[in-house]
Amino acid sequence: MTTAITRRDRRISPVFLGIVAVMAVSGWAVWTEFSVSVGFAVFLFVTSAWIVSLCLHEYAHARTALHSGDISIGAKGYLTLNPLKYTHALLSIVLPVLFVIMGGIGLPGGAVFIERGRIQGRWKHSLISAAGPLTNVLFAIVCTAPFWLGALDGVPDVFRYALGFLALLQVTAAILNFLPVPGLDGYGVIEPWLSYKIRRQVEPLAPFGLLLVFGVLWIPGVNHLFFDAVDAVLRVLGVTNWDTSWGQQFYRFWQGDPNVPAITP
Residues that are catalytic: 58
First to last CA, the chain: 61
Cα–chain center distance at 40: 21
- As a whole number of angstroms, the distance between CA 94 and CA 41 comes to 20
- Under a CB-based contact definition with an 8 Å cutoff, are residues 192 and 126 in contact? yes
Residues in the chain: 265
Nearest to 132 by CA among 199, 200, 59: 59
22 contact partners, CB below 8 Å, separation of at least 6: 44, 48
- As a whole number of angstroms, the distance between CA 183 and CA 187 comes to 7
Within the chain, residue ranges assigned H as helices are 7-10, 14-32, 38-68, 89, 95-103, 122-143, 145-148, 157-177, 185-190, 196-202, 209-217, 220-236, 241-251
What amino acid is encoded at 169 in this protein? L
- Under a CB-based contact definition with an 8 Å cutoff, are residues 124 and 193 in contact? no
What amino acid is encoded at 187 in this protein? Y
Coil, helix or strand at residue 261: coil
